[in-house]
Amino acid sequence: MLMLFWEALQCNKRFRSFIIDTDRAHDFVILVLFYAMEGKNDPNKQGLVRMCVFILQTMSVEPNFGKSLNKRFEGQDTLPLNIRIQNFHGTYADYLITSIYNLLTSGKGNLEAVYPALLAIINNITPYLENLGRATSSKLLSLFASMSSPSFLFANETNYSLLISLLEALNAIIEHQFNKNPNVVYAVIRSQKRFENLRNFTLESAQEELERQKTEAAAADQPPHSRNSSGDLRSPLSARSPSLSNVPEEQSAFTIGGDDDDDSDGDEASASQPLQRRTTSPSSTAASSSSAAAPPDTLPTQLRGMSEKARGKQRAGAPSFSRQNSVSSLASLTPAASGAAPGLAFQPSAEWVEAWRTELPLHSVLALVAALGPAVAAARDDDAALAALRKASPPAGLERSPVRVHLFEWSPLALGWYESLLWGFVFTSELAYSKGSAGVWNATMVRLFRVCGAVARVSLMDANL
């Protein structure tokens, strides 16, 4: 059913308009998210889950889809438990972003190949979203805190592309919906230090931060009597200029789980747990032969929304959708003193850091915090700060970028995955209903062939990877 639905969305413009331009889109979003959440940790359902993500991405490229998500989501208590969000009173946009956040943080690495597509969905809808809730804003900034940490950026040579994608989504909200998203604007301003430290990111400061984390972790494992009298476990390195992960988080209603009106279930990871992107081992997928980037013409590009120079580099050798360049779930990473994650296939260099750091789209965010940061700091509480932001005008240095669309693009690799999924389904149906000489084709007009067991078994193996 989902395959037929996806095919119709791609091939039939009238059907796509019929779904997107009506409230039926909301029903299908809930349906697709149900299957994705239900199978996210089941190895036998990873093909289905990936297809659900690509269906959402296909729907998200339509502007009317993003606009329709601003509708209030009623009837949360009627949803199945696995997709219900506790104490939720937001819009369909809040629900979709929260669900994507849960897929990113609780997938246990099973969905690593579609992390770029999940971020592409957020990118496609953010230029049209209004009045995102506090908890949703917190989740977006939580993802930024994880993706901008040295342990994440040094875990894989192309991890920065996911950080760029998330920054583009934040920019789209700030540039196109500034006055209608005070919660997001406030959350960004409160994370000012993280953005400034990312602008000044260097190989040396990042390695110092990783060493500090390693020292703290080692000291925490020591018996209490071996610690100093003050209980301070910080490394002397922490006295140097702050890096990304040691910026203290302010506690307020914007912290995850701290908003009574829009909260998610308890399986979310905190911002202090870095998102790690690892290099897959040969056993993780039959299609992966190394951690090197595949040729750009063999992979669908899931991430756009960056400068021309960065896109040129992406096409030249760093594709955004790749089984070779995989992403694990949000999980704690034990950093090595060298700044490289265990099992890393490359060593970061100062030239590599400088190459992508200069491409980070930080202008809009830094212009925002420079113009409105003092006013927010002077506010007596969160409510006063939000009231001031609702009356504020966009900063003078804020430039509105054109809306970019992140399409799902078919390629030989993607087509091979899809055909394997299809024939895997045919083969399992043949096994379940095989009767007589035609098996699954009994009681139909199809008399053309019978599934070849050996070929179908290979296809089924590919579908489960």
What letter does residue 58 receive in the DSSP assignment?
H
The residue with tokens 């779904």 is 19
Helix axes 46-60, 2-11, angle to 10 degrees: 30
Is 335 within 8 Å of 210 (Cβ atoms)? Answer: yes
Report the alpha-carbon angle 15-35-428, nearest 5: 95
Query: Look-up: residue for tokens 């989504």?
Result: 169
Q: How many helices (H) and strands (E) does the chain have?
A: 19, 0
Q: Which two tokens stand for residue 96?
A: 């979709």
pLDDT for 457: 47
Instruction: Give the model's pLDDT for residue 444.
Output: 67
End-to-end CA distance of the chain: 21
Closest CA to 159 of 247, 246, 279, 271: 279
Phi, psi values for residue 275, rounded to 5° = -80, 120
Helix (H) or strand (E) holding 350: helix 350-357
Helices assigned H by DSSP within 12-114: 13-20, 24-39, 46-60, 63-68, 92-106
Report d(CA 229, CA 252) in Å as an integer: 31
Cβ count near 445 (within 10 Å): 6
Concatenated DSSP letters for 115-128? HHHHHHHHHHHGGG
Q: Give this prediction's pTM.
A: 0.73
Q: Where do the structural domains in the chain lie, given as residue ranges?
A: 2-409, 410-465
pLDDT tens, residue order, the chain (465 aa): 999 999 999 999 999 999 999 889 999 999 999 999 999 988 889 999 999 999 999 999 999 999 999 999 998 888 999 899 988 989 999 999 999 999 998 877 778 889 999 999 999 999 999 999 999 999 999 999 999 999 889 988 888 999 999 999 999 999 999 999 999 999 999 999 999 999 999 999 999 988 988 888 888 877 665 544 433 333 332 333 333 233 333 333 333 333 444 444 443 334 334 344 444 333 333 333 333 333 333 333 333 334 444 444 443 433 333 323 333 333 333 233 333 444 445 688 999 999 999 999 999 999 999 999 998 998 889 999 999 999 898 888 788 889 999 999 999 999 999 999 998 888 777 777 655 555 556 666 655 455 554 454 444 445 455
Rounded CA gap, 435 and 438, in Å?
A: 7
Confidence at residue 23, expressed as pLDDT on a 0 to 100 scale: 84
What's the rounded Cα separation, in Å, for the pair 416 and 390? 49
Do the beta carbons of residue 261 and residue 437 sit within 8 Å?
no
In one-letter notation, the amino acid at residue 304 is: R
Torsion of CA 64, 107, 90, 86, to 10 degrees: 150
Q: Which two tokens stand for residue 35?
A: 């299957």
At which residue do the structure tokens 């000291």 appear?
Answer: 219
pLDDT at 329: 33
Alpha carbon of 195 to those of 181, 261, 309, 362, 364: distances in Å? 19, 27, 22, 8, 11
Q: Please state, in angstroms and rounded to a whole number, the distance separating the CA atoms of residues 238 and 205.
A: 10
Q: Is the torsion defined by CA of 11, 17, 20, 22 positive or negative?
A: negative
Specify the pLDDT at position 201: 93
